[in-house]
Chains A and B, each alone.
Chain A
Amino acid sequence: MTPEKQPGNTGNRSMKQRLTSLIQEALQPQHLEVIDESHMHNVPKGAQSHFKIVVVSNQFEGLSLVNRHRMVNSLAKPLFDEGLHALALHTMTPEQWQQKGGTFPKSPPCMGGGK
């Protein structure tokens, strides 16, 4: 029998906790924020589908934005199979984070596209 998947609800650990520990372990960030923005989107109540991640790590040094995002996306890969739908990513080196004064952009409102 193939086990059924319950989107975004695997065991007792929330998607947010799992994203946090995956990134914490792999990137040893100076700063990490994982923000659940699912409520802002056209998803079933309680879904853990949309997250914003702000991550500041030395390991981004010398990497293009595409490659930084690829690093984070590949860490999150197993979670994309479990109901994770969107990751807004703000990836900075400690120097860039300082230049920006420790701020990051707001996410846009949902426009109903779903899926």
Chain B
Amino acid sequence: MDVLERIKEQVDNNPIVLYMKGTPQFPQCGFSSRAAAALQDCGVEFAYVNILADPEIFENLPRFADWPTFPQLYIKGELVGGCDITLELHQTGELQKMTAEAAASKS
């Protein structure tokens, strides 16, 4: 399968997906770490992809949604943003609402 189709499938099949360096337990980048911590704080299940373990996704994710940096958070198939946006939405309480709603919509 083409890598962009593979990414499309991941963001369509999981209501919340974080593309990050490392894992939520063992993050390998400060920005990824903070984004994962904010999501964990929301208390909902989320999927993650360790881009360091998947070079093809690492190379191609930036052109999927025309976003040059990592991490990248997708909710209901849409790019929400990177670390700064995730943290800002978490601070305002918006992220908690968005993730709760996305988790509830999971069929």
Identity of the chain B residue whose Cβ is nearest the Cβ of A90 in the assembled complex: B84
Contact B84 A89 (CB under 8 A): yes
Q: Which candidate, B10-18, B27-35, B98-106, is the interface stretch facing chain A? A: B27-35
Within 8 A of A (CB), among B50-106: 52, 58, 66-69, 79-85, 87-89
Interface size on A, residues (CB 8 A): 23
Contact A108 B34 (CB under 8 A): yes
Contact B84 A77 (CB under 8 A): no
Q: Which candidate, A3-11, A21-29, A80-88, is the interface stretch facing chain B? A: A80-88
Grouping DSSP codes into helix (H, G, I), strand (E, B) and loop, the A interface class, with mixed when no group exceeds half, is mixed
Contact A111 B29 (CB under 8 A): yes
Query: Which chain A residues border B32 with CB–CB below 8 Å?
Result: 111, 113
Q: Which of B30, B31, B85, B87 contacts A66 (CB 8 A)?
A: B85
Contact B68 A110 (CB under 8 A): no
A109 within 8 A of B: yes
Contact B83 A88 (CB under 8 A): yes
Interface size class of B (residues with CB under 8 A): 20 to 34
Contact A73 B68 (CB under 8 A): yes
Best-buried of B27, B30, B31 by chain A (most CB within 10 Å): B30
A13 within 8 A of B: no
Q: Which of B30, B67, B80, B87 contacts A109 (CB 8 A)?
A: B30
Contact B29 A110 (CB under 8 A): yes
Bound together, the chains give a CA A88 to CA B88 distance in angstroms of: 12
Query: Which chain A residues border B87 with CB–CB below 8 Å?
Result: 105
Best-buried of A70, A80, A85, A108 by chain B (most CB within 10 Å): A108
Contact B83 A113 (CB under 8 A): no
Bound together, the chains give a CA A6 to CA B87 distance in angstroms of: 33
Name B's A-contacting residues (CB within 8 A): 21-22, 27-34, 52, 58, 66-69, 79-85, 87-89
Sample of 13 more A-B contacts, CB < 8 Å, known A88-B84, A115-B21:
A69-B85, A105-B84, A107-B31, A108-B30, A108-B83, A109-B30, A111-B21, A111-B30, A111-B33, A113-B22, A113-B32, A113-B52, A115-B58
